[in-house]
Amino acid sequence: MSAEHPEIPWHVAIIMDGNGRWAKERGLPRRDGHRAGAESVREVADTCIELGIRYLTLYAFSSENWNRPPAEVEALMGLLDRFLIEKGADMKKRGIRLQTIGRTDLLPDKTRALIERITAETAGHAALTLVLALSYGAREEIVGAARSLAADAAAGRITPDDIDCRLFESRLQTAGLPDPDLLIRTSGEMRISNFLLWQISYAEIVIVRKNWPDFRRNDFIEAVREYQQRHRRFGAL
């Protein structure tokens, strides 16, 4: 692939959608859709390493997802714990660094402890940075950045004129991460759903009709191919 289409995206972000529909189509409970979706997560992360993609950000749990029935929230947290326990060991072997964005302070204690441990243990890894967006909402993130700058201005540490894009970005939860080059959304929906609103300003967007549990290695490679066929202009001619 790389010889014909040299530009591999540096950072891919994914809105994993359609787990519920996948389950419904099969007459299964929604949690089975999420379980099958967790398999897609494993496969896509492995494919990133195979392709040399350096950053993968996954919208695993939005701030709005807390409004789902408690049993579904519990099932999602259980899958996340299982993923972290199983993949945690593999991450150490394969050089994957774990990071999170979002209100992880709101997650169950067990999940938070797993995240903290694996994040610390994998901090020096470089092959792939896997960023899990958990209890994440982009508007809240942007408000947090504005609040932090306002506090600095009120305390006289900065003046309003000091605020530019670079300073603003440094207060986002993604500080230090490159912006996504490619944003994929599955299940055919054409919405951003409060995901990385600032960071996707120049991302190429690829909408895939398949539900997330059906989105596997070849579908991911196909989406990367579509990205490679686009001509990115960043607003210039």
Name the residue type at position 98: L
**In the bound complex, what is the minimum distance in angstroms from residue 228's beta carbon to ligand FPP?**
25
Binders of ligand FPP among residues 51 to 110 (CB under 6 A) are 58, 60, 65, 76, 79-80, 83
Query: Could you tell me which residues come within 8 angstroms of residue 197 by beta carbon, excluding any fewer than 6 positions away?
Result: 138, 139, 142
Q: How is residue 116 written in tokens?
A: 């903290």
The vertex-32 CA angle with 116 and 119, nearest 5°, equals 10
Among residues 105, 87, 101, 109, the alpha carbon closest in space to that of 134 is found at: 101
**In the bound complex, what is the minimum distance in angstroms from residue 179's beta carbon to ligand FPP?**
21
**Which of residues 21 and 171 has its CB atom nearest to ligand FPP in the complex?**
21
| Per-residue x/- track, 200-219, ligand FPP (CB under 6 A) | ------------x-------
Binders of ligand FPP among residues 116 to 155 (CB under 6 A) are 132
65 is an active site residue: yes
**In the bound complex, what is the minimum distance in angstroms from residue 189's beta carbon to ligand FPP?**
8
Task: Please give the size of the binding site for ligand FPP, defined by CB under 6 A.
Answer: 19
Report strand pairing: 55-62 vs 128-136.
parallel
Is 19:211 a contact under the CB 8 Å cutoff?
A: yes
| Per-residue x/- track, 11-40, ligand FPP (CB under 6 A) | -----xxxxxx------------x--xx--
Query: From the candidates 17, 19, 211, 219, which is the catalytic residue?
Result: 17
152 is an active site residue: no
Distance between CA atoms of residues 152 and 149, nearest Å: 5
**In the bound complex, what is the minimum distance in angstroms from residue 17's beta carbon to ligand FPP?**
5
| Per-residue x/- track, 173-192, ligand FPP (CB under 6 A) | --------------------
**In the bound complex, what is the minimum distance in angstroms from residue 128's beta carbon to ligand FPP?**
14
Q: Is 210 exposed, middle or buried (0-12, 13-18, 19+ CB in 10 A)?
A: middle
Distance between CA atoms of residues 24 and 2, nearest Å: 38
Among residues 52, 55, 58, 57, the alpha carbon closest in space to that of 5 is found at: 52
Residues making contact with ligand FPP (CB under 6 A) = 16-21, 34, 37-38, 41, 58, 60, 65, 76, 79-80, 83, 132, 212
Residues taking part in catalysis: 17, 65
